[in-house]
């Protein structure tokens, strides 16, 4: 649907760090919101407060259907 080409002057490690950060990636996609992250203590906390994340998250999918017939 959209196509744009651009050059990034950063190394592959930085690209990997951006793409592997679920909170950042969800924020830039615009369709996902990371609500809570599980800490190694078992608590569900807001992502900035979870210091030792387990990789489990509570995520909301945000969508506004284009038509009345579209369902999510």
Query: Using one digit for the tens of pLDDT, what is the confidence trace for 24-58?
Result: 777 777 777 888 999 999 999 988 888 888 989 88
Residues 6+ away with beta carbon under 8 Å from 44:
36, 37, 38, 58
Q: In angstroms, how far is CA 33 from the centroid of its own chain?
A: 7
Tokens of 6: 């651009």
Contact status, residue 18 vs residue 24, Cβ threshold 8 Å: yes
Domain ranges of the chain: 1-66
Q: Is the pTM of this model over 0.85?
A: no
């Amino acid at each position: 649907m959209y196509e744009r080409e651009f050059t990034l002057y950063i190394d592959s490690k930085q690209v990997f760090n951006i793409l592997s950060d679920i909170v950042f990636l969800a924020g830039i996609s615009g369709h996902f919101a990371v609500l809570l992250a599980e800490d190694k203590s078992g608590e569900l906390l807001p992502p900035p407060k979870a210091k030792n994340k387990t990789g489990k998250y509570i995520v909301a999918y945000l969508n506004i259907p284009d038509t009345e017939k579209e369902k999510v």
